[in-house]
Structure 1
Amino acid sequence: MGKRDYYDVLGVSRSATDDEIKRAFRQLAKKYHPDVSKEKDAEAKFKEINEAYEVLSDPNKRRNYDQFGHAGNDPNGFGGFSQGFSGGGFEDIFSGGFGGFGDIFENFFGGGKKRRDFSNQPIKGENLAAHVKMTLKEQMLGKKVQLDLNVDKPCEICAGTGAKDPKKDIHTCTTCDGYGYVNIEQRSLFGIMQSQQPCPDCKGRGKVITSKCPKCKGQGHYRGKETVEIELPKSIHEDQQLRIREKGNYGLNNGPRGDIYLEISVKPNKYFKRVNDNLHLDLPVSYLDALLGAEIKVPTFDGDVHLKLPPNTKTNSVFNIPNHGFFKSPTSHRRGDLIVNIIVTIPTKLSAEEKTKLQELKDVSSFKIADNFYEDL
């Protein structure tokens, strides 16, 4: 069964923007992640989603895919030719090397006897998706996190070969004679043409395993737990997706590890709110401090600071505390401000002594509402 169209896999149109593709990938990755999904085929769907995103999120790969389909990014298909033509000039094209006319004519006309050692070709591991939820303070100052992942790890029993005994149980495939591919004849307007496809028996490896490794069942790898430590940068944005390189699934044949696409979310804070690079705080203060003036403590993510309130401070008076907000960027030392909005609070319960003293103050106070205040109402 052939591969599905990558746009259909992500559920987007061919004119989808990069943001629409990224958003679709995030939603599907959350739904089908093997660690959380209860779908029977979640793992297969998750791999399909990752593969589609890896192509459509890369401008060059997407352009090749739009032009040539799945063959556009296949090193043995049109994609290799297209990249060779744009990148290296005539010497690369006619040299017969990777992506040149030598491969093209071999693929379509069956020429050449060159053995392709697919079994030893390094293959990059698949990407993973993960999610981290942070506090607002951790978002501002950065944080080290540990991710407990289920990853495909090389089998240490068979050294990644998939064979019970690598010396005895790996043999040259008799179907393709070890070439890794077979010639297929097809009729066309130009007559009968031959094309090469991966061998169905050895899956393009050129080798077959007669007795499989009992641990990995011939796969050369197995699913296992692994804890990965990641340092999240300071002042990242919520819903920002970070790409952690080479911390995903292990590659085959000493290929590099895949990447982790890490999505960030931030827990709501009861007191503080981020606005661009500034922090905002609604700070309740006593009506007596507001009336008489006082030096008060203001909590910040860097520790308490002192703020001097002038007498007769009113509700919604705003004070700036410089350099106590978010960093301008993960690598910057410059910071925004902490913007403090004063909320004057009046007690709802008073002791008898407090009531007596306030009544005495009221009787001698010179503060009166103007007699003509109500005249125009």
Structure 2
Amino acid sequence: MQFKDYYETLGVEPSAGEAEIKTAYRRLARKYHPDVSKEAGAEESFKAVNEAYEALRDPQKRAAYDQLRVRGYRPGDEVQPPPGGFGGGPGGPDFEEIFAGGGAGGGFSDFFETLFGRGRAAPGAGGFQQRGAPPRGDTRARLAVSLETVYEGGQVRISVNHKTLDVRVPKGIRPGQLIRLAGQGTHGDLLLEIEYAAHPQFEVDGRNVIHVLELAPWEAALGASVSVPTLGGPVELKIPANSEAGRKLRLRGRGLPGSPAGDQIVELEVLAPRADNDAQREAYEGLRAAFGEDWRRD
């Protein structure tokens, strides 16, 4: 099992806060997403970024990883798990991590699985954490599903107890709701507690979905019509003239299903493109001349 430096994968320091880690993940996930990237190896890079974020976004996972990292391992170094696994004690960790199919990120690596749980991934992103037996001998677990699956409903494929199961996920299911699979637990039924998997383009607030849209300065100043991703497919969004960074625009009914359905909130982020040639530098010089040195005061 080879060590992976998740901080290096995301391009952040080990001291990075939650917001910095999330920003780095969003930027890299957009860059390497298989649906948009033409770069060689984009799919593998996207999987690596997804795995790194899954490890560092959860405080308990991050703490366990940091304890291993401070031993001085470098990427590619062979890591030998201690007796009983990294979780300590007989039987390894307190939960078992298994992965559901149907996501863009693909399964996680042996390093991730050995560090955070013993389950073997079926192809796909997301996962559930097996918690042990509640009353009646049932087995309770957490199942992470993609937002696309929540939006459309459908089936996800999981591997558990050396079996492959197809799980029907109802449209609009909420975090914390349970799906019962009769007779599929260790000594009874398998109860799957739903959670939402991390997504490179969207965050969730109740039934609303939040998307950060990057704009060039001229699009924000002059207005534009921009294609915006939604869970139901891309739509054209009209950007009003003189829009500022942080402005929020609402796409009604484009959030998660429900009664009523949620909206998609598009938060504007204005970025200045690099000036890499004479024509681009000349264009910026023209802006400086037009707006003057006192533009902040205005």
Q: TM-score, normalised by structure 2?
A: 0.50
Q: Which has the higher contact order (CA 8 A, sep 6+)?
A: 1
Larger radius of gyration: 1
Q: TM-score, normalised by structure 1?
A: 0.40
